Amino acid sequence: MSEGPDSREAGPDRPIGFFDSGVGGLTVLHECLVSLPAEDYLYVGDSGHFPYGEKSADELLERAQVIAGYLLDQDVKLLVVACNSATSAAGDSVRELGRKAGVPVVTVVGPEAEIAGAITENGRIGVLATPATVSSGAYHRALEEQGRAFTVTEVAAPDLAPIIQGGATFSEEVVETVRGYCRPLKEARIDTLILGCTHYPLIAPLLQRILGRDVRLVTAGHAIAGAIQRRLASEGALRDGDGEGGYGFRVTGEKESFVTLGTRFLQLPLGDRVEHLEI
């Protein structure tokens, strides 16, 4: 890490910060808790301003800057933007905030695109994402950076994140909604699908059934955990030991519903680890 007036020592005992529009980023946090169990984590769920996927780029930029600033003030050693819509609209801005504070920033779009580009066999890649993410063109740009010609089919799914956030994920109506979003992906004969919203892994089995077992699904969790491990190792900031670190949550919306739904996403207890945040 380069030294400067705003840089910090990347000590291993500082927490890793996460933020998302709600509970979706918990699918990423879950993978990190499994892959890097010794680390401490602080997660901000901006459920008071959910959904992000239909907000303007300016609105997303403002929320991302506010929450990133809060987490940087909590002395995190690395900041994860665990939201595709926020990454698409504000990734560069958050990375600049992190640079000024001497804190590395990891976002969800790049690592997913890298994996998708590496595993596709026919070069036909699908992206299922929120309208804000699709309109930003972030995945197109990230895939172009892989240096290979891909046929990319993007589908905006305005209803999926709210359905999943609301907890009703497996009714017949939901299945038909998902089938409708998958239709252009099947017509494009994709062999790889990027789940371009951190809520979507909760319906991965449904997507796999509709698209067929030969379509590979790329989610953010595994990609981000690997990126975090590599970055912290390069900074000498990985926490050693076999023990389990702690994890805590700040939520801008209603706390009880976050605990109920978040427990299902995280597959670990939240309980009294959740605090309300006015920001």
**Residue 158 counted as domain residue:** yes
Same domain assignment for residues 120 and 184: yes
167 has a pLDDT exceeding 90: no
Tell me the three-class secondary structure of the chain, residue by residue: CCCCCCCCCCCCCCCEEEEECCCCCHHHHHHHHHHCCCCCEEEEECHHHCCCCCCCHHHHHHHHHHHHHHHHHCCCCEEEECCHHHHHHHHHHHHHHHHHHCCCEEECHHHHHHHHHHHCCCCEEEEEECHHHHHHCHHHHHHHCCCCCCEEEEEECCCHHHHHHHCCCCCHHHHHHHHHHHHHHHHCCCCEEEEECCCHHHHHHHHHHHHCCCCEEECHHHHHHHHHHHHHHHHCCCCCCCCCCCEEEEECCCHHHHHHHHHHHHCCCCHHHEEECCC
Told to judge if 32 belongs to the known catalytic residues of this protein, a careful annotator would answer no
Last residue of a domain, one of 204, 220, 236: 220
**Res 9: pLDDT:** 52
Which pLDDT score, from 0 to 100, does residue 53 have?
82
pLDDT of residue 168: 63
132 within some domain: yes
- Active-site option among 42, 197, 202, 232: 197
In a domain, 3, yes or no: no
pTM of the full structure: 0.84
- State how many domains the chain has: 2
The whole-number pLDDT of residue 179 equals 96
Q: Is pLDDT above 70 for 2?
A: no
> Could you tell me if 39 and 95 lie in one domain?
yes
Q: pLDDT digit string (tens) for 194-231?
A: 999 888 988 999 999 999 999 999 998 888 998 899 99
Band of residue 279 on the pLDDT scale cut at 50, 70, 90: confident
Q: Tell me what pLDDT residue 8 has.
A: 45
Based on the domain organization, do 158 and 145 belong to the same domain? yes
Shared-domain flag, residues 130 and 73? no
Q: Would residue 198 count as lying in a domain?
A: yes
Mean pLDDT computed over 126-147: 92
Residue 246 lies in a domain: yes
Mean pLDDT of 146-163: 92
Residue 184 sits in the same domain as residue 101: no
Q: Is the pLDDT of residue 3 over 50?
A: no
1 lies in some domain: no
Give the residue from 220, 242, 267 where a domain finishes.
Answer: 220
Q: Same domain for 115 and 101? A: no
| 154, 216: one domain | yes
The residue out of 220, 237, 266 marking a domain boundary is: 220
- 4 in any annotated domain: no
Query: What is the reported pLDDT for 269?
Result: 86
Among the options 60, 83, 182, 223, which is catalytic? 83
pLDDT digits (tens, 9 = 90+) for 28-67: 999 999 999 999 999 999 999 888 888 898 999 999 999 9
Same domain, yes or no, for 124 and 205?
Answer: yes
Q: What is the mean predicted confidence (pLDDT) over 102-123?
A: 94
Same domain, 145 and 216: yes
* Residue 6 resides in a domain: no
The pLDDT score that the predictor gives to residue 172 is 86
Domain that holds residue 155: 110-220
83 catalytic? Reply is yes
* pLDDT in the model for residue 169: 62
CATH code where residue 96 lies:
3.40.50.1860
Would the pLDDT of 5 be above 60?
no
* Shared-domain flag, residues 195 and 246: no
The pLDDT mean for the chain works out to: 90
Whether residue 113 has pLDDT greater than 70 = yes
Percent of the chain with pLDDT over 90: 65
187 and 176 inside one domain: yes
In this structure, are 234 and 97 located in the same domain?
A: yes
Evaluate if residue 1 carries a pLDDT over 70: no
